[in-house]
């Protein structure tokens, strides 16, 4: 399963838990309220784990791009340098999108 769908599934679980907790509070059921809170926290954990994976992928992509850009500088190849800088920027954007 892709991280985007894991993130969406976590968000859905979190929302379901909030609704269940609110219903439990409304009808006065501590059990339902506790189940809702547990589901909400499980969903939040799932979502945050997916975001952390994406940040890690972005960091690896940024480092790889920096190395590629430095190699382009070293061998004086503007195409390799540009590809490296693009890859590094793409990695930074991936990290920023998953904060």
pLDDT tens-place string over residues 16-41:
999 999 999 999 999 999 999 999 99
User: Crossing angle of helices 30-74/3-27, nearest 10°?
Assistant: 160
What letter would DSSP give residue 28? Answer: T
Q: How many other C-beta atoms can be found within 10 angstroms of the C-beta atom of residue 99?
A: 7
What pTM value is reported for the model? Answer: 0.79
- pLDDT tens, residue by residue, 45-90: 999 999 999 999 999 999 999 999 999 999 999 999 999 999 999 9
Q: Please report the pLDDT score of residue 28 as a whole number.
A: 95
What letter would DSSP give residue 22? Answer: H
Q: Is 49 within 8 Å of 30 (Cβ atoms)? A: no
Domain of residue 86, residue span: 3-97
Q: Please report the pLDDT score of residue 4 as a whole number.
A: 82
What letter would DSSP give residue 75? Answer: T
Q: Please report the pLDDT score of residue 1 as a whole number.
A: 66
Tell me how far apart the alpha carbons of residues 87 and 69 are, in angstroms, rounded to a whole number.
Answer: 9
């Amino acid at each position: 399963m892709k991280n985007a769908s894991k993130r969406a599934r976590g968000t859905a679980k979190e929302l379901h838990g909030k609704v269940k907790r609110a219903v439990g509070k409304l009808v006065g059921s501590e059990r339902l309220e506790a189940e809702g809170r547990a589901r909400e926290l499980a969903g939040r954990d799932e979502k945050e784990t997916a975001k952390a994976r994406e940040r890690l992928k972005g960091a690896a992509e940024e480092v790889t791009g920096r190395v590629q850009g430095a190699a382009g500088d070293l061998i004086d190849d503007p195409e390799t340098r540009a590809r490296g800088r693009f890859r590094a920027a793409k990695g930074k954007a991936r990290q920023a999108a998953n904060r």
